[in-house]
Amino acid sequence: MSRITGARERARTEITAAIKDEARRQLAEEGAGRLSLRAVARTLGIASSALYRYYPSRDELLTALIVDAYDALGADAERALAAAGPPAGPPLVRWQAVCRAVRAWALEHPHEYALIYGSPVPGYSAPLVTTGPAARVGLALIAVARDAHAHGTLGAPGSPPALPPGLRADAERLAAELDIPLPAPAVAELVAAWVQLFGLVSFEVFGQLNRVVDARAEFFDQAVVRLARSLGLTGDSLSGQPAVTERGSSEGS
């Protein structure tokens, strides 16, 4: 895989990367809908048809960007988790770290976030390649709960209202697939928290909080702590200095 490469092959990987980089630049500026292969080729100084030797279609390029976005977000989440103290530390702090990292990344890369967590592109169905990177944030969240469980800092779930059978089956399947050493109700709670984390972030990034909530960071932190409590995570909340400070509503005209 890392054999010494001929000049041509090296040029190929370089150009492929250059195309993806320029595409990501345009994506970050204008959004996925306005990403134009011709524009990418233009700023790269090559003919638009030449671009098709590297990415057979616009969808393929988008897929590459999607994978990268998942990976960047996942890496940020993992980094934040690693920096938030050892596995034996207070789980609430670690939980907050991961959640705040997700929010911070999303606010910094709104178009890339929209690409992976927004409305799916019409004719496009995410290929299986994306499932691995897509799971990284979820795995980080799982790690927090798992470590807390292992170190006895995972209390009882907030409200376990008799897991219905289908949900229990899902939880057990997930626990088996991902090797999560947690009881089914905890897994179900974890999935719910995962969904709500991204619900919070999406609402903010997509501008749905405009004219409703101004204290975005406080709102987010509050919700995150509540999620953690419902999971049974213990520890004191670190309330000061949120990962992303307040900013005015980001709408245009």
- Name which of 2 and 245 has its Cβ closer to its own copies: 245
Would you list the DSSP string of 5-40?
--HHHHHHHHHHHHHHHHHHHHHHHH-GGG--HHHH
141: its two tokens: 């969240």
- Name which of 54 and 142 has its Cβ closer to its own copies: 142
- Name which of 57 and 208 has its Cβ closer to DNA: 57
With contact defined as beta carbons under 8 Å apart, do 143 and 81 qualify?
A: yes
Where b means 16+ CB within 10 Å and e means fewer, 114-153 reads: bbbbbeeeeeeebeeebeebbebbbebbbbbbbbbbeeeb
Binds its own copies (CB under 8 A): choice among 114, 137, 148, 231:
114
The phi-psi region of residue 7 (left if phi > 0; otherwise alpha if psi is between -120 and 50; otherwise beta) is: alpha
- Binding partner of residue 253 among DNA, its own copies, none, CB under 5 to 8 Å per kind? its own copies
- Name which of 15 and 126 has its Cβ closer to its own copies: 126
Kindly state whether residue 248 participates in binding its own copies, applying the rule CB under 8 A.
no
Decide: helix, strand or coil at residue 154.
strand
With contact defined as beta carbons under 8 Å apart, do 160 and 185 qualify?
A: yes
Binding footprint of DNA on the chain (CB under 7 A): 6-9, 11-12, 15, 35-39, 45-50, 52-54, 56-59
138: its two tokens: 């979820």
| Cβ 158 to DNA shortest distance, Å | 48
- Name which of 62 and 69 has its Cβ closer to DNA: 62
Question: Binding residues for its own copies, per CB under 8 A?
Answer: 30-34, 114-115, 117-123, 125-126, 131, 159, 161, 163-167, 169-170, 174, 188, 191-192, 195-196, 198-200, 202-203, 206-209, 211-215, 218-219, 221-223, 225-226, 229-230, 237, 239, 246, 251-253
